[in-house]
Amino acid sequence: MAAIQSSPYSKTESYVDNKRKDDIRMANINAARSVADAVRTSLGPKGMDKMISTASGEVIITNDGATILNKMEVLQPAAKFLVELSKSQDIVAGDGTTTVVVIAGALLKQCQTLLSAGVHPTVISEALHKVSLKSIDVLTAMSVPVELSDRESLIKSASTSLNSKVVSQYSSLLAPLAVDAVLNVVDPVKPDLVDLRDVKIVKKLGGTVDDTELVKGLVFDKKVSHASGRLTRVENAKIGVIQFQISPPKTDIEQSIVVSDYTQMDRILKEERNYILGMIKKIKATGCNVLLIQKSILRDAVTELSLHYLAKAKILVVKDVERDEIEFITKTLNCLPIANIEHFRAEKLGFADLVEEVSLGERKIVKITGIKEMGRTTTVLVRGSNQLVLDEAERSLHDALCVVRCLVNKKFLIAGGGAPEIELSRQLGAWAKVLQGMEGYCVKSFAEALEVIPYTLAENAGLNPILIVTELRNRHAQGEINAGINVRKGQITNILEENVVQPLLVSTSAISLATECVRMILKIDDIVTVR
């Protein structure tokens, strides 16, 4: 930093070169804005999709902001903030991941104008903070309360979330499915909390998204293990979840046992057989007729021999159950995992009406239905004609589930279609006139920045954005709070009546997270690299 002093004895520096600080701030803002512009075209129901090609040759088609930014390799440190921003929006609300980045980009553009006009970054930052608090009040005032018993409203907000996805034509099927899935796992003791880990999404290639279904029970994406006996259906099942191996024991360390004659070899095989038979008899004694066996690293969880004896004992086996699925399975079946054959007792088993292997095209799955005293979990079986559609259907369903979860947490709905943003812009603009000095000037420019959402919605739908936004402003000034852009009809209508609604939490968290991120970028005046 160059400092030229007026005289060798002067205590104060008369000139400080601040150019570097301004350059770095501008570079940060430009980098972050370019990231925002990259996802801007995929905003809204008529937004474009992005095709992402990864280094490993994998191709992903999506228009979910969080997914796009997550896969982008962003090198500039400030631009990484926007990637983190969409991630945090995904965690808090699950939807609105593109919106939050677009708002941040627009706010940064206004900051650039204010900075070049000579406004101090701290003043801008303080004004932004006030704007964010005021915005949340305005949004809360225009929201509509909703009850969880009002299934129609929940379905409307879930389908609004799905309408901007690649699988939007299936929203009439996926929206009710998401609502039912979340309502199934809501615990009456803690009605405000929903853990989405209790909703398991199983993807199976084949069929179309139309074949997606909600299963009250468990689905395993594997077939029944059968050495012989072809047992594929068990009624009145008693299910044991085991974490031990039904195979002959091995030594703990790598050892080779040398057998010199056949009698010894026969003895070893006979011992092995007796060992396995002893285990299976203990299992059979409890009345268990379905076994779910956890994957084992140390040695084979089951051998051909043990499968043969299990089939003879009329016990259906599903092997290679992943370790992280055990918790979900035991919660659903309301049973306990069994870690040792000695602890295998009837009271640790789960009970179900039917366990069967079902064919889906060429592939097979195992379904467990009619579980007695079933835990509060649910399984969604997603189908799709190819892997790209399957993955996108899963992401879209996750967003829809998150939207319903938002409504369980904060039971308020708000209009969509750019209505809340224009209303915010109008009210902040009016508020700016009351404020004094620099603050009012900053608030006014941030109010303008919020018009980016309706502008982009209109632009992506191929409408005339300037005409539409002007008309929107006019309608809102006349007191039509819920007037928004109807991209299907290409005109402005009352969006609440058109059933385009979203949870209040999505809008409020988008505004507060975007302003927080922009304030952080503004406060940075130097980048120090450490080797």
Instruction: Report CA dihedral (37, 43, 49, 52) to the nearest 10 degrees.
Output: 50
Lateral strand order in the sheet of 199-205: 199-205, 378-384, 213-215
CB atoms within 10 A of CB 66: 27
173: tokens are 């099927």
Nearest residue to 101 (alpha-carbon basis) of 32, 2, 14: 32
User: Which H/E stretch holds residue 475?
Assistant: helix 465-477
Residues designated as active site: 64, 97-98, 399
Q: How far apart are CA 82 and CA 31, in angstroms?
A: 10
Residue 439 to residue 444: CA distance in whole angstroms: 9
The C-alpha atoms of residue 134 and residue 506 are separated, in whole angstroms, by 16
- The Cα 515–Cα 487 span in angstroms is 27
The DSSP string of 119-157 is --HHHHHHHHHHHHHHHHHHHHHT-EE--TT-HHHHHHH
> Rounded to an integer, what distance in angstroms lies between the CA atom of residue 39 and that of residue 83?
11
Report how far residue 489's alpha carbon sits from residue 498's, in angstroms, rounded to the nearest whole number: 11
Rounded CA separation 348/265 (Å): 37
Residues 240, 348 contacting (CB under 8 angstroms): yes
**Spatial contact of 125 and 519, defined as CB atoms under 8 Å apart:** yes
